[in-house]
Each structure stands twice: as C-alpha cells, then as structure tokens.
Amino acid sequence: MVEMIGAKALIQALEKEGVDIVFGLPGGANLPIYDALVEANFRHILVRHEQSAAHMADGYARIKRKAGVCFATSGPGATNLITGIATAYADSSPMVAVTGQVPTAMIGKDAFQETDIIGVANPCTKYAFQPRSPNEIPETIKKAFYIAESGRPGPVLVDIPKDVQQGSADMSFPEFIKVRGYSPVIDADLSQLGRAVEILYNASGL
C-alpha cells in the first residue's frame, strides 16, 4: 500500500497493464491526469480530435491484440470519443477509454463541460465505470482491461471525476480480480465438438 493521488495511481495501473502508448487530448477535467503523464513510462500521442484518438487506439488494438488506450476530457471531449468507441464495440476491438469528469459534487448539476458520458456510452461499451473515490482506481483499471480483452473483446469506459484524480489515498494494486457477473468461456464443450466432427466427417464432395 502506497499513498498517492488518483491520477498517479491511474498511470501506475496502466503501466502495470503493460500499456506502452496512449492517444489523447487534454482539457480542464483531466489536467491532473496529464500532469501525472509527464512522469509516465509510456508514450503519449497528442491528437487533433478525440475521435481520432479512439480510432488510433482501435487500430493499435487490432494489430497488437491487446487493449488500445485513449484519453479525453469531460463533455465534448468525451462525446467526441463516442464514434470511435461505437466503432470498436461493433467490431469487438479491445479498448480502454479514460475520460475526465467534473468533480463529484458537481455531477448532475449541468456543470461546464459536463455530460452523462456513462449514460451515453452504456449502449456501446462492454462496461462503463465511474470510480467515486481515489482508492477505487487501481481495481477499476484492472477490471477494465480484463473486461476489454477477454471473451468477446470490446471497449470499456472509465470516467474519473476531477476530485477523484486529485484526491490522495493508500493505493493497493490487486494481482487478481474477479468480476462476479462475467465468466467468458474459453474451452468448448467436448460433446459439441464431437457432434461437429461427425457432421464434418460425413460431409460429402460435389
């Protein structure tokens, strides 16, 4: 357990996931994340429009076969990601999109650059997280990558309110996590495979 601010925990959690590049664009609501990025071990690519950040993360994921990561600020930054996220969802591409959000006390009050991005992203993501306290960040990131990359891959959104990025806490980075409602099947049922073999064996030529 080490004490650090949420933004730093985010960067470390990403490093632990083996992230070597992120694509993003900073704004008011993710400034703390961008400050922590200065010391990050991975590369940051500055985009000219957040939609491209999501598409770049998608293209990266399709070749690397692990989650591509993109960053955006709250409000219009986050909504600009949506086309890219929906593209990844429709094509089952693994992606973790991290957006800034207005401080928790301002949520739901139509603050500057606020949108209900969780609501907007829900139908086009495998899952959308919104950690409400800094110590939730390490586990949230680990779960996000697990969900994005396993089973039928897909995009996961992590929406971090600004005060959660700035707040300090004792962080522990879990080795293993379990997501109760999620158990992707890896090994097929052998009897079904047996039936397939039967059919294929008997399938004729012209």
Partner 1 sequence: MPKTASPMNSVVEKVNGWHILSAMLENKPGVLFRVTNLFRARNFNIESITVGLTEQPDLSRMTITLISDERTLDQLVKQLRKLIDVVEVKVLDAEKTVYRELALIKMKAEDPTTRMEITNFASIFRANILDIGKETITVELTGTPDKIDAFKNLVDHFGIAQLARTGVSALQRGRGQ
Partner 2 sequence: MAGGGVILSGAFSELQALAEILMAPVVTTFKGKGSFPENHPLAMGPIGMHGHAEANKMILEADCILAVGARFSDRSVGRYDEFGRGMNIIHMDVDPAEIGKNKSVDVAVVGDVKSSLRTLVKMLSKVSVRRDQNTPWLKRREELIDHYAETIKDYPRDLTARKALKKLREILPADSIVTTEVGQCQMWASLHFDVITPGTFFSSTGLGTMGFGFPASIGAKAARSEVHVVDIAGDASFNMTENSLAVSVLDQLPVIVFLMNNYMLGMVAQWQRTFYNRRYMGVHQHSCPDYAKIAQAYGAQGIKAQSLSELELAVRAALKSEIATVIDITIDPEEDVYPFVVPGTGLKDMITGS
**Cα–Cα dist 114/125, whole Å:** 19
Q: Quick one: what does residue 77 bind among partner 1, partner 2, none, with the CB cut-off 5 to 8 Å set by partner type?
A: none
Task: Tell me the longest C-alpha to C-alpha distance in the chain.
Answer: 70
Q: Quick one: what does residue 109 bind among partner 1, partner 2, none, with the CB cut-off 5 to 8 Å set by partner type?
A: none
Between 137 and 146, name the residue whose CB sits nearer to partner 2: 146
Q: Quick one: what does residue 37 bind among partner 2, partner 1, none, with the CB cut-off 5 to 8 Å set by partner type?
A: none
Q: Quick one: what does residue 47 bind among partner 1, partner 2, none, with the CB cut-off 5 to 8 Å set by partner type?
A: partner 2
Q: Which of 162, 5, 143, 173 is nearest to 67 (CA)?
A: 143
**Restricting to residues 104-123, which ones interact with partner 1 according to CB under 8 A?**
118-119, 122-123
For the chain, the distance separating the N- and C-terminal CA atoms, rounded to the nearest angstrom, is: 67
**SS3 of residue 177 by DSSP:** coil
Kindly state the tokens that stand for 114.
Answer: 């606020």
145 contacts partner 1 (rule: CB under 8 A): no
182 contacts partner 1 (rule: CB under 8 A): yes
Element (DSSP H or E) covering residue 101: strand 95-101
Q: What is the DSSP letter of 170?
A: E
Q: Name the residues that contact partner 2, by CB under 8 A.
A: 21, 23, 43, 45-49, 51-53, 55-65, 68, 83-84, 86-87, 89-92, 151-153, 184-190, 192-197, 199-201, 203-206
Between 61 and 141, name the residue whose CB sits nearer to partner 2: 61
Element (DSSP H or E) covering residue 158: strand 155-161
In sequence order, the β-bridge partners of residue 71 are: 24, 98
148 contacts partner 1 (rule: CB under 8 A): no
Between 83 and 166, name the residue whose CB sits nearer to partner 2: 83
Between 5 and 70, name the residue whose CB sits nearer to partner 2: 70
Element (DSSP H or E) covering residue 21: strand 21-24
Interface with partner 1 (CB under 8 A)? 118-119, 122-123, 126-127, 147, 179-182
